[in-house]
Amino acid sequence: MKILSVNAGSSSLKFTLIELPAKNVIASGLFEKIGLADSCYTIKYNGEKITTNEALPDHSVAVKKLIDALLNMQIISSLEEIEGVGHRMVHGGQEFSKSVILTNEVLDRIAKYNELAPLHNPANIMGVKAFMKVLPNTIQVGVFDTAFHTTMKETEFLYPVPYEWYEKYQVRKYGFHGTSHRYINKTISELLGRNDLKVISCHIGNGGSITAIDSGNVVDTSMGFTPLAGIMMGTRSGDIDASILQYMAKKSSKSLDQLTNELNKESGLLGISGISSDSRDVEEAANNGNEKAILAQEMYARKIANYIAMYNNLLNGADVITLTAGVGENSKTMRKMILDRIASLGVKLDESKNDFRGELRLITTDDSKIPVYVVPTDEELMIAMDTMELALQNR
């Protein structure tokens, strides 16, 4: 069956058409600058990449053009061939613990969490509505970034602040990247033939989060009320002392919004190195002796190593550590830096196994106390698989 996996942003729409259960990517693409000048879309199919510059006044027009293109390019021969559309939804609050079939009533319930993810949820919902309009007879499924983390207990998801903040204002840890962590846990559990694994899953890309999983249940995760918390990232600070905001607001006469924006977009690797948020650029500068780049890399690796050590304690000893996403899958330098900094856990990198990119591989020695695997993530596939499951149940 053919399933569309979709990620709608406020002015963009990414899609992947996947054949299941074979897991083949048939076509993929990106609609950009929706509602803006110079909008365009790119479709990849059969090893070719076709870019079209056309007006895309809103998401419905983009979806219509996508379906027309799939038909015109004979990627599908009728609309009925698409048996489900799976949507990445960022925030489902405490309410959505798994993927759901989307109806207008469910969308209204999801919209309650717009305040918790103002940049993402309204855009996700807009994408769903556009597909409902163009493909009214096709099942639409919502797959939440937060859902996998709903197994966390109060001891982990609460912040030690007045309890009222949670009861009245829903201030708690939600966690993100859940679809990726769930995919990684599934992949490593299948590989090792166990469903009772204690996994520390490190998703290290431009954004990054680390999750402690026991027997398929999330025990704790490093992102929090928003994706700003946890480890240092490409442009995000990760954990900082909350009082810094009040102090900086007074000192710099910047607003809380401006400062929060700086913590999200101008901090992390970019903030410290002053060069780039991309670990490749920072690595190159560090190799050329740039001191701030060297410092940024060291801080980055240490924050990740410290979270791994903390979660190893929380899990009372992990069975396996996994690395994924842009940095985890591709940067042998950062992999080595992180593993060297968790040597106290008995982790030993086998350097002869570390020189590769983007594959599922074990990178530790046989006598490493905890094996470390690089596991490429595939959120689109996970979304498509959830969609297939619900589509089959509702045939």
**Site residues (vs ligand ADP, CB under 6 A):** 205-207, 234, 278-280, 325-327, 330-331, 357
CA 53/CA 27 separation, integer angstroms: 19
Pick the closer one to ligand ADP by CB: 202 or 388: 202
Question: Which position's Cβ is nearest ligand ADP?
Answer: 326
- How many residues are there in the chain? 395
Quick check: 208 and 305 in contact, CB under 8 A? no
**Nearest approach, Cβ of residue 165 and ligand ADP (Å):** 29
**Nearest approach, Cβ of residue 187 and ligand ADP (Å):** 16
Token couple for 361: 């591989």
Pick the closer one to ligand ADP by CB: 14 or 112: 14
CA 73/CA 50 separation, integer angstroms: 11
Pick the closer one to ligand ADP by CB: 132 or 231: 231
The active-site residue, picked from 145, 220, 378, 386, is 145
CA 293/CA 290 separation, integer angstroms: 5
**Nearest approach, Cβ of residue 202 and ligand ADP (Å):** 12
CA 149/CA 90 separation, integer angstroms: 12
Pick the closer one to ligand ADP by CB: 357 or 361: 357
CA 8/CA 29 separation, integer angstroms: 12
**Nearest approach, Cβ of residue 276 and ligand ADP (Å):** 8
Half-sphere exposure of 336 (CA within 13 A, CB side): 11
Pick the closer one to ligand ADP by CB: 325 or 363: 325
**Nearest approach, Cβ of residue 92 and ligand ADP (Å):** 20
145 is known as an active-site residue: yes
Token couple for 108: 């209204």
Residue 140: C-alpha distances to residues 5, 77, 157, 208 (Å): 10, 20, 30, 28
**Nearest approach, Cβ of residue 328 and ligand ADP (Å):** 8
Q: Which residues pair with 19 in a beta bridge?
A: 2, 24
**SS3 label, residue 365:** coil
CB burial class (10 A; 0-12, 13-18, 19+) of residue 342?
Answer: buried
Pick the closer one to ligand ADP by CB: 84 or 234: 234
Question: Would you please indicate which residues are annotated as catalytic (active-site) residues?
Answer: 145
